[in-house]
Structure 1
Amino acid sequence: MNYVFLGMALLLAAAAGYWVFGRGTPRPAGTWAMGALLGAFALAFASYAPLVEDAVETLVPNVARLLSNSASLAAATAVVAVILQLNLDPSEARRRIRVRLVLLAVAVVGMASLFTYEEMTHRSPRVYAVYLLLYVSYLGFAVVDFMLQAVRQSKSTRRGSVRVGLRMAAAGCVFALIYIAYKTTRLIDLGLGLGLIDSTSECSTLVGRCAFSVTAPALAVLLICLGLTLPAVAYPISQARRRRWEARSFEELGGLWQDLSSAMPHIVLEPADAEDMSADSDFLLQRRVIEISDGILTLRPYRSRNVQEAAEGVFGAGTVRDAAAVEAAVVKAALRSLETGRFADDVAPPSAEAASRKDLRADTEWLLLVADAYTNRVGRVAGDGRPEPVGA
C-alpha cells in the first residue's frame, strides 16, 4: 500500500509542479486551480499511505484522517474551480470560486473543531458522525457540481480531447459518489449506533470494504486527473502531428506546384528562399495551396471539356480519387494548351469536388489527390484529348 499511495502522490506532485511552473507564460486559465487540484490530491494520497499515517500520528493521534479529508475537500474545490474557469467568463468564475472557497474554509474549520473535540471526548461516535456529515455534505456538493458542469461542457466543446477528458472526469465523479454513498452509510450507522461497519480494522488491500473506502476514491482521483490533464497532453501531440502532415503535404504538392509556377510565375506570392518547415509549416502550406488554386483558376480558358469527358471514360468518376485523376488530366492538358496559346473550344466546368471544399484542410486533401494523380496516374494527353494512364 505504501508503494501505491506514495507513488501516486509523487506522480501527482510532479504533475502539479509541471502544470504550475513548466508551462511557460502567459499561463492559460485554470493553471493555478489545476496545480492546486493535483497538489491536494497528492497530499491526500500521501496521507493514505501507512508510512506517512504512522509518522504524522506519532505527533497527533488520528490526525491523518483530518489531513486526507481536508485535502480531498480542497481537491474537490480545485476541480470545481477548473471547470468554472473553463465554462464562465473570468469575473463570474471568480465570484463563484470565492463562494466555494468560503464554504471550503467553513467545512475545514468545522471538521478541525469537531476532530479536536472528538479526541478530547475519546472518539465519541456521535461527534464523529457530525464530522462525517460536514465532510460528506461539502464533498457531495462539490462532486455533483463538477459532474453536471463537466457533462454540460462535454456536449458543447469541439475539441475531441476536451470532450473525452471531461467525460472521463465525469466517470471519475461516479466513483466519488460511490465513496460518498459509503461514507453516508457509515454516517447513518454511527448516528443510529447500528454497528454495521467495523471502523476499527485498517485497509491493507483494495478489495472488500476497502473497495468503497479506498479503491473508489483512488479511481475517482485517477479518472478526474487524467480527464482534466488529457487535453494538455493531447494538444502538443496533435500539434506535432499537424505539423508533420503540413510538411508532408507541402512536399507532395511540389510536383504540381512546380509545373504550374513554371508556366505561370505570377501565381507565386513571394520568393521562397529559406523555408523553415518546422517553424511555419501552416503558412507555407496555405501559400502553396493558394498558389496551386490560383494556377488552376488561371488555366480556366484552356480547360477542355473534351479532355474532361475523355478522362472520365478512362479513369471513371465514381470516387473522389477518380475525380482527382480527371482533374489532373484536365490540368495537364490545359498546361500544354497554355504553352501553345490555344484556348479550349468548349471550356470544362470546375470540378464539383473542388467546389465542395470549404476550408484549408479540405482543399489540401483534394489537391493532394490531384497532385498524386498528376504525377502517378495521368501520363501524356494525346492529340485527341484522351489521357494515357501511367504504365499503360
Structure 2
Amino acid sequence: MENLTACLAALVFLAFAGHRLTLARGGGADPAHRDVAGFALCAGMAMLLNAPAVLGVLERSVSAPCAELLLPWELKAAAGTFLALVALALDPRVGEPVPTRRRRRIGGTAVVVQVAALGLFLGSGVTGDGAYFVAAPGRGRVLAAYNVLFVAYLCWSLCVLARALVRHARETLPGPLRTGLRLAALATATAVVWTLWTLDDAAANITTGRQGLSEDLLSTTLGMLTAVLVTAGATATLWGERITAPLRRLRARRTHRALEPLWAALHAELPEIALDPDAARRPALRQAEFARYRRVIEIRDGILALRPYQRAEALDRTVRALDGTGLAAVDREAVLEAAVIAAALADRRAGRLYDGAPGRAAPTPSARLETVEDEAAWLVRVARAFTRSPVVRDIRDRAHAQVTAE
C-alpha cells in the first residue's frame, strides 16, 4: 500500500511539474512558474525515491543510505528552496521583477543547508541493515541532527510561503484565483504536518541509533494529500470557474429571495420600480445574478422615491430606541435604515410629504459598498431588520397611528 501511495503522489507531482514547465516555456515567462515547477519536480522525485519498488532498483548502483536517506532529503530541501522563491514572488512589496540579490540570498542559504546536511550525514557513519539505517556507535545524535536540520529548513520554507499565500488571498477578490491561493495555503499546512512527522525518526535516532528505510503509510498519505492540494490550487483558474459559477448563482438566488420582503413592500407602494413585469417570480439559476442585480437597483430606486416622505422624527426616535440595546454597529445602521423606510412608506400611503432639511433622515452605512455583492449583502441586513426588528415594528405602528389620528 505504501508503494502504491508513494508512486501516486510522485505521479501527481511530476505531472504537475510537466504542466508548469510547459507554461513557463520562453524567455519572457514569469520565473515564479519555473519555481513552482521546480518544487513539484523535486518533491515528486523525492516521493518516487521513497517507493520500495524504485529503491530496489537504485540499490543495485547506489549505496542504500545514499539512495534511501540522502537523496530524498536533498531533493526535499531543494523543493523547500523553490517554495521560498515562490513566496518571494508573491511579496506585495515587489511591484517589479524580484531583485536578483534576494533570490541569491535564498539560494545561498539552501547551499549552506545542503552542505551542512551532507557533513552530518557522512559524520553519522550510517549504514544499511536490512529494513533499517544504523548510525555508527555513539553517533545517533548526529543522524538525528541531520533529520532535524532538514525538518527545520522545510518548515521555515513552508511557513514563509503560507504567510505570503494567506496575505495574498486576503488582498484578492473572490473568484478562482483566491480559491487557488486558499487551496495552496491548505497544502502548505498539510506539508508542515507531513514534514514534522519525520521527527519520529529523529527520536529513534537518539534512542536506538536506527531509522526505518522507507516512509510509513501515514507519511505517504500526507504526501499524496499535499500533492493533490498543490495541483488543485495551482490549476484553480482552469477549473475554478466551472465549480464556483453554480455556487455563486445559488448564493445570488438566495440573496434575491432574502430581499423579497423589502422589495415587495416597496413594490406594493411604488409598482413603477419594477424593471421587469415578472420581477416577482423566482429567477432561473442561470439568471440569478442578473436578477439579484436588478432587485438591488429596484430597491434603491424605491428608497430614492421615498426621500420626500422621510422624516427626521422617525430617525431620531429609532436612535433613542436603540440606545443601550448593545447591537453591533452594522446591525444598528441596518435597523435605522429599515425604520426610516417603514415610516416613509406609511407617510406616502397617507400622502404626507416631509418638508424638512433634505437628506437629514436618510442614514447611510459606514461600510464601504464597492460591489453589487456588498450592496446586496447590506440590503439583506436592512430587509431582515425591516421584517424582524421590534424597533422597526414600533416605528411602523407609530407611523400608522399618526396617520389614522389625522
TM-score normalised to structure 2 length: 0.57
Cα 1:139/1:358, change in 2 over 3 Å: same
Q: Which runs of 5+ in 2 are unaligned?
A: 171-177
Identity over the aligned pairs, expressed in percent? Answer: 22
Q: Provide the secondary structure at the position in 1 that maps to 2:90.
A: helix
1:279 deviates by 8.7
Aligned to 2:175: none
Aligned to 1:301: 308
Aligned to 1:64: 67
Q: Does 1:246 align with 2:247?
A: no
Aligned to 1:9: 10
Amino acid at match of 2:209: I
1:48 to 47, 50, 53: 50
For residues 69-105 of structure 1, give each alpha carbon's deviation from its aligned partner in whole angstroms, at most 9, with x where no partner exists: 3421321122112211112525335543355457767
Provide the rounded CA distance (Å) in 2 between the counterparts of 1:204 and 1:221.
12
Question: Where in structure 2 are the equivalents of 1:66-81 lying within 5 Å?
Answer: 66-81=70-85
Aligned to 2:353: 343
For residues 299-333 of structure 1, give each alpha carbon's deviation from its aligned partner in whole angstroms, at most 9, with x where no partner exists: 2122246777999999x996747656534423433
1:6 deviates by 1.9
For residues 172-191 of structure 1, give each alpha carbon's deviation from its aligned partner in whole angstroms, at most 9, with x where no partner exists: 447636747956996xx8xx
2:403 to 382, 385, 389: 385
Q: Is the 8 A contact 2:311 2:344 kept in 1?
A: no
Cα 1:41/1:99, change in 2 over 3 Å: same
Cα 1:243/1:35, change in 2 over 3 Å: farther
Q: Provide the secondary structure at the position in 2 that maps to 1:385.
A: helix
Provide the rounded CA distance (Å) in 2 between the counterparts of 1:73 and 1:309.
66
Comparing 36-45 and 284-293, the one that deviates more: 284-293
Provide the rounded CA distance (Å) in 2 between the counterparts of 1:221 and 1:99.
31
Aligned to 2:342: 329
Aligned to 1:289: 296
Q: Does 1:198 align with 2:198?
A: no
Provide the rounded CA distance (Å) in 1 between the counterparts of 2:215 and 2:183.
33
Q: Is the 8 A contact 2:318 2:336 kept in 1?
A: no
Q: Provide the secondary structure at the position in 2 that maps to 1:2.
A: helix
Provide the rounded CA distance (Å) in 2 between the counterparts of 1:219 and 1:134.
23
Q: Is the 8 A contact 1:173 1:220 kept in 2?
A: no
1:50 deviates by 0.6
1:48 deviates by 0.6
1:368 deviates by 2.5
Cα 1:47/1:181, change in 2 over 3 Å: same
For residues 138-168 of structure 1, give each alpha carbon's deviation from its aligned partner in whole angstroms, at most 9, with x where no partner exists: 8467436425634754785662976896587
Comparing 67-76 and 289-298, the one that deviates more: 289-298
Amino acid at match of 2:343: V
Q: Is the 8 A contact 2:9 2:224 kept in 1?
A: no
Aligned to 1:365: 377
1:2 deviates by 1.0
Aligned to 1:390: none
1:54 deviates by 0.9
Cα 1:291/1:304, change in 2 over 3 Å: same
Comparing 230-239 and 286-295, the one that deviates more: 230-239
Point out which structure has higher relative CO (alpha carbons under 8 A, 6+ apart).
2
Question: Where in structure 2 are the equivalents of 1:1-392 lying within 5 Å?
Answer: 1-16=2-17, 30-62=32-64, 64-65=67-68, 66-87=70-91, 89=94, 90-92=96-98, 95-101=101-107, 139=150, 142-143=153-154, 145-147=156-158, 149-150=160-161, 153=164, 159=170, 166=185, 169=188, 172-173=191-192, 176=195, 179=198, 196-198=208-210, 202-203=213-214, 205=216, 215=219, 219=222, 226=229, 241-250=247-256, 252-253=258-259, 255-256=263-264, 258=267, 262-263=271-272, 281=289, 285=292, 288-289=295-296, 292-304=299-311, 320=331, 326-333=339-346, 335-336=348-349, 342-344=352-354, 349-350=360-361, 352=363, 354-359=364-369, 360=371, 361=373, 363-371=375-383, 382=400, 384-385=402-403
TM-score normalised to structure 1 length: 0.59
Provide the rounded CA distance (Å) in 2 between the counterparts of 1:240 and 1:20.
31
Provide the rounded CA distance (Å) in 2 between the counterparts of 1:382 and 1:327.
13
Q: Provide the secondary structure at the position in 1 that maps to 2:403.
A: coil
How many aligned residue pairs are there?
350
Provide the rounded CA distance (Å) in 1 between the counterparts of 2:387 and 2:204.
72
Amino acid at match of 1:149: V
Provide the rounded CA distance (Å) in 2 between the counterparts of 1:49 and 1:136.
19
Amino acid at match of 2:82: A
Q: Is the 8 A contact 1:169 1:224 kept in 2?
A: no
Aligned to 1:211: none
1:3 deviates by 2.4
Provide the rounded CA distance (Å) in 2 between the counterparts of 1:184 and 1:94.
39
Q: Is the 8 A contact 1:308 1:330 kept in 2?
A: no
Provide the rounded CA distance (Å) in 2 between the counterparts of 1:138 and 1:91.
31
1:111 deviates by 9.1
